[in-house]
Amino acid sequence: MKKLLVVLLSIFFTVSASACTHVQKANTAKKQTIVKVEGNKVIIDGKTESLKDVIFSNGTPSDIKKGAETYVYKVKGKTYVLVYKGYHETPVKGGADVFGKVERTTDDEVVLDGGHTFPVVPGIKVQNVQDLSKARNYSPSLLPKGTIVNMFVKAGKVLAIVKY
């Protein structure tokens, strides 16, 4: 079982790192507010962005509206807007894809909004969406309160974390 887990995690991180090695850092890692929406363009804190892809966490396209809070990332020239609408868990093959906002972390667990608690597997890696090629060993200090995370959870335990 441990060998299978190591192989799956290795494949996951290799694919993630190779697919997103050209992530551009933007000074948009903080929460921003949509000022205006015009077709496929949106003005966020005074800057006009052409929307190519939108990542929703328990939301819909109607959530991209004036006053909505978002996070913006640029990857290979595309603009990604994360619309966070609260904790959301989606069943996927082999486990669950979980979006949530960190309430607190310890060496052994991550607690998300709504009190959803997940034990952390020893040796887990944490990636930042702005630079997926650099995975760091899990430490509670990497996930301060309020950080939005996307986690892969299997059998109730966190196997991979990407923070936004």
pLDDT 10s digits, 27-85: 335 678 888 888 778 888 888 877 766 666 666 777 788 888 787 777 666 677 777 78
Write the CA distances from 38 to 51, 63, 68, 89, 162, integer angstroms: 10, 14, 14, 31, 30
Co-location of 76 and 114 in the same domain = no
Q: 122 and 93: one domain?
A: yes
Tell me which residue range forms the domain holding 127.
86-163
154: amino acid identity, one letter: K
b vs e for 67-97, b when ≥16 Cβ sit within 10 Å of the residue's Cβ?
ebebbbbbbeeebbbbbbeebeeeeeeebee
Judge whether 4 lies within some domain: no
Q: Is residue 25 part of a domain?
A: no
149-161: average pLDDT: 94
- Answer whether residue 161 shows pLDDT above 50: yes
Quote the percentage of the chain above a pLDDT of 90.
37
Residue 75 lies in a domain: yes
User: Quick one: 41 and 98 in the same domain?
Assistant: no
For residue 47, give the nearest of 22, 27, 76 by alpha carbon: 27
Q: What is the pLDDT of residues 113-133, one digit of tens each?
A: 999 999 999 999 999 887 788
Residue 56, pLDDT score: 61
Contacts of 141 (CB under 8 A, 6+ apart): none
The predicted model scores a pTM of 0.68
Rounded to the nearest integer, the mean pLDDT of the chain is 78
The answer as to whether 69 is a domain residue is: yes
Give the end of a domain, one of 84, 117, 149: 84
Q: How far apart are the first and last CA of the chain?
A: 30
Tell me which residue of 102, 91, 99 sits closest to 57, measured CA to CA: 99
